[in-house]
């Protein structure tokens, strides 16, 4: 079986979705927010066959919040990283739980830690913190009354 | 004749000393001459029994749990001290070994489990996390900084990250010592 190279994957995706950019440095595919579900369904199906979504998380860059999806294709043995830039004012994004079942809990964790709301998710609750928790702990501006800062020497 | 008698007395004294060392409540027990009866204060017998048959609760919260499991297995064998019957139900236990990091979400469960245990009940805080929050003391939002902050009184603290099984056994012996020296056994 011939393994697909990263640039071949990009050529393949770009032929269908010309809006997709490659992020300099990380090699991730940056996609527009409203295209997410379409791109996900395309990547899941043939010929790319990314059948495994094994990481959903976010990065708080203060001026924007980056969603990160890491995909893996078991048959083609290739990994691909998707990124979506969200503005902190509008943290709504489509849920991928209908495409990959593993997205269910991973998206709940991202909601718990960063406050990104996934529309169309079957069970949008917190998963790690208590259900009545206030705030989103992995945001840069998060504070907690019982937070004891480490003394800097 | 006198020499033999004194030697006999010495042996008896030695035997008596050994017996007192082995059985902690022995100095409260008196043998009635010629009979199979023993006489002791009921409180000392009660305390001895309580200390020698502690039923701990299986309570693995984090990595300290593995040291607790090792202490329960054949190499270290916590059963030698009469505390080998780990129970999964708090209603059958009288010592809670809090072994590991206490998360905020777990705190409520620990409080409820402690409330479900019948009196008399004892708590061992095992490891730095259960003592004070340990390495999670600074810069964390989700860890309770010590078992006492949950409102649970702790009898024995065992520091270490994690403590070795020997440390747990030493802590258990300290708890037994504490139970034997209690003022009011029927608390």
* Contact check, Cβ <8 Å, A137/B138: no
- pLDDT tens digits for B75-106? 999 999 988 889 889 999 999 999 999 998 89
Region A124-153: mean pLDDT is: 86
Give yes or no for a contact between A70 and A130, defined as CB atoms under 8 angstroms apart.
no
CB atoms closer than 10 angstroms to residue B93:
24
pLDDT at B120: 86
Angle between helices A6-16 and A36-44 (to 10 degrees): 130
Measured in angstroms, the CA of A124 and the nearest CA of chain B are apart by 19
Integer Cα distance of B134 and B159 in angstroms: 9
* Contact check, Cβ <8 Å, A144/B141: yes
Measured in angstroms, the CA of B140 and the nearest CA of chain A are apart by 6
- pLDDT tens digits for B64-80? 999 999 999 999 999 99
- pLDDT tens digits for B45-55? 888 888 888 99
Average pLDDT, chain B: 85
pLDDT at B172: 93
CA pseudo-torsion sign B158, B160, B163, B164: negative
* Contact check, Cβ <8 Å, A147/B105: no
| pLDDT at B163 exceeding the cut of 60 | yes
Give yes or no for a contact between B126 and B133, defined as CB atoms under 8 angstroms apart.
no
Integer Cα distance of B86 and B62 in angstroms: 17
| pLDDT at A140 exceeding the cut of 80 | yes
- pLDDT tens digits for B19-45? 666 666 666 666 666 666 666 677 788
| Helix (H), strand (E), coil (C) string for chain A | CCCCCHHHHHHHHHHHCCCCEECCCCCCEECCHHHHHHHHHHHHCCCCCCCEEEEEEEEECCCCEEEEEEEEECCCCEEEEEEEEECCCCCEEECCCCCCCCHHHHHHHHHHHHCCEEECCCCCCCCCCCCCCCCCCCCCCCCCCCCCCCCCC
Share of chain A above pLDDT 70, in %: 97
pLDDT at B59: 81
| pLDDT at A3 exceeding the cut of 60 | no
Region B124-133: mean pLDDT is: 92
Phi, psi of B54 (to 5 degrees): -90, 135
pLDDT band for position A17 (50/70/90)? confident
Selection from B144, B156, B138 nearest residue B106 by Cα: B144
Structure tokens belonging to residue A94: 């489509």
DSSP B118: P
Nearest-Cα residue of chain B relative to residue A130: B105
Give yes or no for a contact between A81 and A70, defined as CB atoms under 8 angstroms apart.
yes
pLDDT band for position A148 (50/70/90)? confident
Contacts (Cβ under 8 Å, ≥6 apart) of A119: A92, A93, A94, A95
- pLDDT tens digits for A82-92? 999 999 888 89
- pLDDT tens digits for A64-115? 999 999 999 888 888 889 999 999 888 899 999 999 999 999 999 999 999 9
pLDDT band for position A141 (50/70/90)? confident
Region B124-142: mean pLDDT is: 90
Integer Cα distance of A67 and B61 in angstroms: 32
pLDDT at A147: 81
pLDDT at B37: 61
pLDDT at B35: 61
pLDDT at B4: 67
pLDDT at B38: 64
* Contact check, Cβ <8 Å, A150/B139: yes
Nearest-Cα residue of chain B relative to residue A135: B141
Selection from B121, B73, B119 nearest residue B96 by Cα: B121
* Contact check, Cβ <8 Å, B141/A137: yes
| pLDDT at A1 exceeding the cut of 50 | no
- Interface mutation target, options A113, A114, A126, A129, chain B, most CBs of B under 10 Å: A129
A86 beta partners: A65
Contacts of A131 in chain B (CB under 8 A): none
Phi, psi of A68 (to 5 degrees): -125, 125
pLDDT at B116: 93
Integer Cα distance of B125 and A59 in angstroms: 37
| pLDDT at B125 exceeding the cut of 90 | yes
Measured in angstroms, the CA of B103 and the nearest CA of chain A are apart by 9
Measured in angstroms, the CA of B144 and the nearest CA of chain A are apart by 9
- pLDDT tens digits for B149-161? 999 999 999 999 9
- Please tell me whether the overall predicted TM-score, pTM, comes out greater than 0.90 for this model: no
Nearest-Cα residue of chain A relative to residue B139: A149
């Amino acid at each position: 079986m011939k393994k697909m190279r990263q640039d071949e994957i990009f050529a393949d995706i770009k032929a269908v979705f010309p809006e997709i950019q490659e992020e300099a440095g990380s090699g991730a595919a940056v996609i527009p927010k409203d295209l997410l579900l379409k791109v996900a369904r395309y990547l899941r199906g043939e010929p790319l066959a990314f059948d495994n979504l094994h990481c959903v998380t976010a990065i708080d860059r203060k001026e924007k919040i980056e969603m990160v999806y890491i995909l893996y294709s078991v048959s083609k043995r290739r990994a691909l990283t998707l990124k979506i830039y969200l503005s902190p004012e509008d943290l709504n994004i489509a849920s991928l739980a209908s495409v990959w079942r593993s997205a269910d809990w991973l998206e709940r964790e991202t909601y718990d830690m960063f406050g990104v709301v996934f529309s169309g998710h079957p069970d949008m609750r917190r998963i790690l913190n208590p259900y009545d928790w206030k705030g989103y702990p992995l945001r840069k501006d998060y504070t907690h009354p019982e937070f004891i800062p480490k003394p800097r020497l | 004749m006198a020499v033999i008698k004194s030697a006999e007395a010495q042996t008896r004294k030695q035997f008596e000393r050994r017996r007192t060392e082995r059985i902690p409540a022995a100095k409260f027990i008196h043998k009635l001459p010629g009979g199979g009866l023993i006489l002791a204060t009921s409180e000392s017998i009660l305390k001895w029994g309580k200390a020698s048959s502690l039923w701990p609760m299986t309570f693995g919260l984090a990595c300290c749990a593995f040291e607790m499991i090792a202490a329960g297995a054949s190499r270290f064998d916590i059963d030698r001290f009469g505390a080998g019957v780990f129970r999964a139900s708090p209603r059958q236990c009288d010592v809670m070994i809090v072994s590991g990091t206490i998360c905020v979400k777990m705190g409520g469960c620990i409080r409820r489990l402690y409330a479900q245990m019948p009196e008399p009940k004892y708590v061992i805080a095992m490891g730095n996390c259960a003592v004070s929050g340990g390495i999670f003391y600074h810069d964390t939002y989700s860890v309770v900084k010590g078992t006492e902050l949950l409102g649970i009184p702790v009898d024995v603290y065992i520091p270490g990250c994690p403590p070795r099984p020997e440390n747990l056994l030493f802590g258990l012996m300290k708890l037994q010592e504490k139970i034997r020296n209690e003022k009011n056994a029927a608390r």
